[in-house]
Structure 1
Amino acid sequence: MRLLTLNINSHSSKHEKEEYKRIIHEFADYVADEDIELFAIQECSQTHNEDVVDEKKLKNFVASDNQVPIKKDNCAYCIDKILKEKGLEYEWTWTGAKFGYDIYDEGLAIFFKGKIKQANAFYFSKSHNYNNWKSRKALCVKCVADNKNFIFYNLHMGWWNDQDEPFDKQFDFLQEYFKNHNKDVDNVFLLGDFNSPANEKNGGYDYVKNFGWKDTYELAQKKDNGLSVLEEIDGWRDNEVDGMRIDYIWSLKEITVTKSEIVFNNINKPKISDHCGVKIEIQ
């Protein structure tokens, strides 16, 4: 099974239609070429005032909550259309997490090459205010792959030292949620942007590991340097950044990971975001 996560930062290119089109086409091409079974996208946005998509055109869409309606330039919707043109059928879900930059519905998406049994979205931040840029939401799906039951979470975490929304409080909330909802499944995966460098001691990365979550990069039999951010980005403007590993795929259980690699880093496919993607192959 191949899994992929990417903070696609789609709102940064929406004002340039041709660039936006290039980004989503290159992403969809990669998904098709690599036969990705499940992928998670963060900062998967749409223009707030864009026209709403007719529900008849959302055949493979699985609603996760009473949510912001899908608009015509929704990043996930556009990717789904391209995949359909390639003859690929994915079920997908999307949720709006917050109103960003006074123009965009910033959200999360999960695509699965099969049947999504259930989709759910919920806030794990203290703030549930859609107009607060620090509000954080999780998106999850239950599905069957390789005759096993899985839950996949798409997460975009806050920062460790944030005074309003500290990482540890957010993850504590998630852990309580996991206790009540991760039952009767074979494994659970967390995919996303954790805003916590792997080399930063006693920060968010160590906090997640201390709950027993397994970093699939560490489990991988074959891997590269794992760096998913190669330049200065929002949230890290005051830091010297030579490269950070802050995007992860975590597994609840010890598994066999044959390969972990960074994609869309100008080495393995051209960059399409200020983050690179993380792809793993598991047995």
Structure 2
Amino acid sequence: MNILTLNTHSWLEKHPLEKLQQLAAQIIREDYAIIALQEVNQRIDSSLAISPQNFHPTKEQLPIHEDNFAHLLVQRLKEQGHDYHWSWTYNHIGYDLYHEGVALLSKQPIQPTALVVSAEKDPNDYRTRVALIGQTKVGKKSITAVSCHYSWWTEVGGFADEWSKTEAALQNLSSPLIIMGDFNNPASAKYTGYELVLNSPLLLQDSFLAAKEKRGEHTVEKAIDGWGENQEKLRIDFIFTSQEMAISSYQVVFDGKYTPIVSDHFGVAVTIQ
């Protein structure tokens, strides 16, 4: 199966509808079974969507608006003959204009849970972080997929606490795990957050390290939102999986080489046997 994660930057990008179509075209081309998206926005003041198709709400679901980026993406895919089930959960207000959240798309129905992982719970505070946990299937095999957008290690009550809450929520699940998203903690032994994930009792593997074939590595190559002083190539977007999963390939996508740039982050796609 092919899976994808991307921090979309959605409506903050120039020509966002063109980039949404480019994202849809790549999804169709590679036929991803599961997709995790971050910075999936909708304007606070936009109209409510009427019965969004194939949408699976969480227990305390914030209403979906007509301009919800994932909602429009699923519509665009449907128009081209590709059905996806999806879920979205709200994290916090972004740029004073948007409900910002994370989304999961799957070829099969999703049973979603919104997990508040941050100490902060006020959506007016950017430090409020909510992971989206989705129980779904690929073929007949049950999978637990997570879309997440974590805080930096340096934040008070930041990544370490958020990861601890994630572990607690997932540790007793029997289905294999795929945890995807923007971790805001670079892949390097000098960064404690990355080491914390690799040494987790969840027994995860970094798909980049596990893959038999690799194309590309880094997902950020310049200063971006949240990394305003950055001058390095960083790998902060990850797909971590249970160790029993065999990763045949890892690819950086939407990097301007084989696929167009659609966000301030590149995406990551992996193939699991």
Query: Counterparts of 1:30 and 1:42 in 2: how far apart (Å)?
Result: 17
Instruction: Give structure 1 regions of 4+ aligned residues with deviation exceeding 3 angstroms.
Output: none
Work out whether residues 154 and 190 of structure 1, in 8 Å CA contact, stay in contact via their aligned partners in 2.
Answer: yes
Say yes or no: does 1:107 pair with 2:97: no
Which residue pairs with 1:79 in the alignment? Answer: 73
Tell me the amino acid that sits aligned with residue 226 of structure 2. G
Q: Return the offset for 1:103.
A: 0.7
* Aligned positions, number: 271
Say yes or no: does 1:30 pair with 2:26: yes
Which residue pairs with 1:263 in the alignment? Answer: 253
The two structures have a TM-score, normalised by structure 2, of 0.96
Say yes or no: does 1:240 pair with 2:236: no
Give the secondary structure class of the aligned counterpart of 2:258.
coil
Give the secondary structure class of the aligned counterpart of 1:130.
coil
Say yes or no: does 1:172 pair with 2:168: no
Work out whether residues 42 and 98 of structure 2, in 8 Å CA contact, stay in contact via their aligned partners in 1.
Answer: yes
Q: Return the offset for 1:59.
A: 2.8
Name which of 187, 190, 203 aligns with 1:198: 187
Query: Counterparts of 1:28 and 1:64 in 2: how far apart (Å)?
Result: 24
Work out whether residues 198 and 206 of structure 2, in 8 Å CA contact, stay in contact via their aligned partners in 1.
Answer: yes
Which residue pairs with 1:50 in the alignment? Answer: 46
Q: Return the offset for 1:157.
A: 0.8
Query: Counterparts of 2:55 and 2:93 in 1: how far apart (Å)?
Result: 22
Q: Return the offset for 1:202.
A: 4.2
Residues 25 and 202 (structure 1 numbering): CA distance in 2 closer, same or farther, change over 3 Å? Answer: closer
Query: Counterparts of 1:225 and 1:201 in 2: how far apart (Å)?
Result: 21
Which residue pairs with 2:144 in the alignment? Answer: 151
Work out whether residues 65 and 95 of structure 1, in 8 Å CA contact, stay in contact via their aligned partners in 2.
Answer: no
5 Å-filtered alignment, 1:13-24, equals 13=13, 19-24=15-20
Query: Counterparts of 2:61 and 2:219 in 1: how far apart (Å)?
Result: 30
Query: Counterparts of 2:89 and 2:5 in 1: how far apart (Å)?
Result: 16
RMSD: 1.3
Say yes or no: does 1:227 pair with 2:223: no
Q: Return the offset for 1:215.
A: 0.3
Query: Counterparts of 2:160 and 2:90 in 1: how far apart (Å)?
Result: 23
Q: Return the offset for 1:145.
A: 1.2
Query: Counterparts of 1:122 and 1:82 in 2: how far apart (Å)?
Result: 28
Query: Counterparts of 1:152 and 1:260 in 2: how far apart (Å)?
Result: 18
Tell me the amino acid that sits aligned with residue 108 of structure 1. V
Q: Return the offset for 1:252.
A: 2.1
Tell me the amino acid that sits aligned with residue 147 of structure 2. N
Tell me the amino acid that sits aligned with residue 38 of structure 2. Q
Structure 1 unmatched runs, 5+: none
Give the secondary structure class of the aligned counterpart of 2:121.
coil
Q: Return the offset for 1:143.
A: 1.2
Q: Return the offset for 1:200.
A: 4.7
Give the secondary structure class of the aligned counterpart of 2:215.
coil
Q: Return the offset for 1:65.
A: 2.9
Counting aligned pairs with the same residue, the percent is 32
Work out whether residues 92 and 122 of structure 2, in 8 Å CA contact, stay in contact via their aligned partners in 1.
Answer: yes
Q: What are the Cα deviations for residues 12-69 of structure 1, in whole angstroms up to 9, with x where unaligned?
A: 13xx6xx1110110001110011111101000101110000112xx230000232221
Tell me the amino acid that sits aligned with residue 263 of structure 1. V
Tell me the amino acid that sits aligned with residue 106 of structure 2. F
Structure 2 unmatched runs, 5+: none
